[in-house]
Structure 1
Amino acid sequence: MTKHNQAIAGLLPEGLSDRLPPAAEASANLARTVLDTVAAHGYARVMPPIAEFEETLTQRLKSAPAKDLLRVVDPVSQRTLALRPDMTAQVGRIAATRLAAAARPLRLSYGGPVLKLRANQLRPERERLQVGAELIGTDSVAAAVEIVNVAIEALQAAGVTGITIDFTLPDLIDTLAAGPMPLGDDAREQVRVELDAKDAGALVALGEGAAAYLPLIEAAGPFHAAMEKLEAIDAATGQGAIASRIAALRAIAKPVGWDITLTLDPTERHGFEYQSWFGFSIFAEGFVGEIGRGGCYTILRSGGSEEPAVGFSLFPDPLIDAGFGQLPTKRLFLPLGHDAERAKALRTEGWRTIAALSDRDDGAALGCDHWLDGRDVRSY
């Protein structure tokens, strides 16, 4: 092999990378902790494939347009396959087809890699770990309460502190525009864009109808203060159009622990385009950008009807890179001729043993901090 070919052989496509020890094991540990936590709440794991026929995946994929999928041609069927950029759509497919007859509410969990066609500046990696849970058959307040608290519990079990949950109401503009603050379809979309950007001047420039939405920019921030402003907006309309949404948010927030920071951005739509009445983002102290998100949505069933659901997804790669998931290990070097039964007993006690294969093996160089001397464990 030429030097050029050797160099190429060590390269990976942009946005893809190897996980080496101990990060690879930390990734598995963290995913297992999250999945074990949600399993304790009755969520059964499913394992969809990494690729599906493009038309099957795009039919259900609401979080990414078809043009953003990485596609290949299946040499067996000669049909186009798409590598999944998100697992939620696959879980929806399983619930609507293979588990269509299962009792509702149906609780499912999942974990595995997803592949993005393009990365962004905040997250340059294109392959990401996604772990989550979906509660299918209802999008009630009680279901949202369960999902939010299970997500928090899973992160805390993984050792994450300084958690912030940011609530949003994805259908808020539609609700107001169809009732006390009327807007046409075109103006509605423009108002959404400017509210996302928090651009008060642009809202005013759109005209009187759009300017009525200005108070929503201020109804963002720490949860309780933002909720009071949202309640004042609803009272000012005199119609109580969002009273039920406000009551639902308070009910979802009530059981959340005191150590969790709650915020509200009622008009946030970026990333929540396919959510229905409730959505939330998850942040952790010391990390840039969200580490997870969730909310209510609908699943397309056979025959064209839609089924409500609520769930969350975590993207824990930044946590893994920061050392979460790494467990302390005791590594024991076993010299040639060691007591095999004693070594076996020590493994049951949690030791990881590294057996010498020749008299040249060096336990310390192999990462061991102890060695077996007869039946005694000695430190280096």
Structure 2
Amino acid sequence: MTELHSSTDIVLPKGVKDFLPARAARIDYLRRTLLDLFHRWGFRLVLPAGLENLDVLERGLGPDLRQTAVRFDDRQSGRLVAVPPDITPQIARIAATRMHELPLPLRLCYSGRVLRHAEQQMGKDREIYQAGVELVGLHQAEADAEMIAMTVEALETLGAREFTIDVGQVEFVRGIMNDLDLEQDQLARLRDHIRRKDAPGLRDLLEELPLPDRRKEELLALPRLFGGRDVLEKAAAVVESTAARQALDNLYEVLATLETYRVDSWVLFDLGEIRGLDYHTGITFQAFLPGIGHAVCSGGRYDNLTARYGRRLPATGFTFNLLNLFFALEKELSAPALQRTDFLLFQQGRDKQKAQKIAAQLRRQGFSAARDSYPRSLPESLDYAKKMDYRYVMVIEEQSDQVELIRVDDEQKTSISVADIETGKIGLAIQRS
């Protein structure tokens, strides 16, 4: 006897979701649109493995991501394996170990799902859909600008009308902080106040620290160095560190290329940004849309990552979080992502061969077509077609050489001969209807 379960017993683990057809179509539209754009910029698709040996994967993971990897014993090898929590380290491994014979630069793109352990907080995703690019082998500022320009073009292509690209430079922060003669716990407290842009807390902390006034002035400026192009000029007036000034020169180079691409109006500079301080080696950026508190895209330069796999190559790239992007643009995606089936074929009686043959002909001509196999009346089939996003119901009579097309949106009717369907003239009939 089959055991019955309450629907409250059949639940998913926290942090993962099912997506039914309407939302799945939007997410797939995001994925396909981004991959098409990546291809137009010269990037080639790679499909990284969905499982990695943990010791190999961890070489490319920073401390934070290392803690999020979902790991388990592999009974075949006896080794610990993990589901990757991020795809960029996998691309670094592939570029360093599998693509020696190819000339540089490598323009690689990807789309896939990663899995992360996450704290059990409301709304915290463990399964993350990613799509991104990695440009490996170029150290020039133009490469960093290209990543930002691609991000802007992607958001515009997807229908975003309001967004910002927040650009930082980790070498600017490093240049200020690296020559501070402080204990590790003091540096950690400094980073925390800077990360939270807590100017009052930072000022109170600096009063306790044995630093020259000039150093304190540089550090106090960091939370305030956020805004447009004038931020770079303000930073130049404050900092003395040679490394920090070189980072500013790099930002000016990137800005010049963004002006050439005519995307600089979307850019804000955040010189107090310390995200990725232990991972990135230059430009960093995040894309934000209204109504969502998380970045929809994150990127930056990471020149040391491929060296962990035996081949040092400069690299930069970015990753879109497709779920963040989906929730930020759900309304804008309704029309372009709608996946409608062209024809629902309705035929009564026991012999359905005529409908089956017509459905096959329509598919060969590039249309989508399904036969309504469920026993119901024509009004019921029309109601079904409306709820399931069909464009037309095609009514077929066994003894007639004509079929009736009913447009689902307004139930307008037109007729077409079976012979015209066979000769590919169905498109003309649709245009007339």
TM-score bracket, shorter-length normalisation: 0.7 to 0.9
Are residues 1:216 and 2:235 paired?
no
Identify the range of structure 1 (101-110 vs 357-366) with the bigger mean alpha-carbon deviation: 357-366
- Checking the alignment, whether the CA contact within 8 Å between 1:196 and 1:269 is kept in structure 2 is yes
Distance 1:288 1:303 in 2: 34
Give the drift of 1:168: 0.9
Which residue, 251, 254, 263 being the options, matches 1:252?
254
Q: Where in structure 2 are the equivalents of 1:1-380 lying within 5 Å? A: 1-4=2-5, 7-8=8-9, 10-62=10-62, 64-119=64-119, 123-178=123-178, 182-184=180-182, 186=184, 187-204=186-203, 205-206=205-206, 207=209, 208-209=211-212, 211-212=216-217, 213-220=219-226, 222-234=227-239, 237=240, 241-254=243-256, 255=258, 257=262, 260-297=265-302, 298-301=304-307, 304=310, 306-321=312-327, 322-323=330-331, 324=333, 326-327=337-338, 329=340, 331-336=342-347, 337=352, 343=359, 351-360=367-376, 362-366=381-385, 367=388, 368-373=390-395, 374-379=402-407, 380=411
TM (norm. structure 1) is 0.87
Distance 1:219 1:7 in 2: 50
Distance 1:151 1:316 in 2: 13
1:95-123 deviation digits (Å, cap 9, x = unpaired)? 01111332111110010001110157585
Give the drift of 1:43: 0.8
Give the drift of 1:294: 0.3
Aligned residues, how many? 373
1:1-45 deviation digits (Å, cap 9, x = unpaired)? 43458753x211111111111111222221011011111111111
Distance 2:364 2:26 in 1: 21
Residue 242 of structure 1 aligns to a residue whose secondary structure is helix
Give the drift of 1:290: 0.6
Residue 371 of structure 1 aligns to a residue whose secondary structure is strand
Residue 129 of structure 1 aligns to a residue whose secondary structure is strand
Distance 1:189 1:67 in 2: 19
Give the drift of 1:247: 2.8
Give the drift of 1:86: 0.5
Give the drift of 1:295: 0.4
Distance 1:6 1:215 in 2: 55
Residue 305 of structure 2 aligns to a residue whose secondary structure is strand
The amino acid of 2:314's aligned partner reads P
Quote the sequence identity (%): 26
Identify the range of structure 1 (94-103 vs 244-253) with the bigger mean alpha-carbon deviation: 244-253
Give the drift of 1:216: 2.0
1:70-107 deviation digits (Å, cap 9, x = unpaired)? 11111211211111110001011100111133211111
Describe the shift of the 1:376–1:227 C-alpha distance in structure 2 as closer, same or farther (beyond 3 A).
farther
Aligned counterpart, 2:421: none
Describe the shift of the 1:291–1:6 C-alpha distance in structure 2 as closer, same or farther (beyond 3 A).
closer
Describe the shift of the 1:285–1:199 C-alpha distance in structure 2 as closer, same or farther (beyond 3 A).
closer
Aligned counterpart, 2:431: none
Higher relative contact order (CA 8 A, sep 6+): 1
Residue 22 of structure 1 aligns to a residue whose secondary structure is helix
Give the drift of 1:178: 4.6
Distance 1:310 1:214 in 2: 30
Distance 1:285 1:68 in 2: 28
Identify the range of structure 1 (319-328 vs 42-51) with the bigger mean alpha-carbon deviation: 319-328
Give the drift of 1:328: 5.4
Give the drift of 1:363: 3.9
Distance 1:38 1:5 in 2: 45
Identify the range of structure 1 (161-170 vs 367-376) with the bigger mean alpha-carbon deviation: 367-376
TM (norm. structure 2) is 0.77
Give the drift of 1:365: 1.4
1:258-282 deviation digits (Å, cap 9, x = unpaired)? 5852212112123453111110011
The amino acid of 2:196's aligned partner reads A
- Checking the alignment, whether the CA contact within 8 Å between 1:84 and 1:115 is kept in structure 2 is yes
Identify the range of structure 1 (183-192 vs 97-106) with the bigger mean alpha-carbon deviation: 183-192
Bigger helix share:
2
Distance 2:174 2:127 in 1: 35
Q: CA RMSD in A?
A: 2.8
Distance 1:248 1:228 in 2: 13
Give the drift of 1:305: 5.1
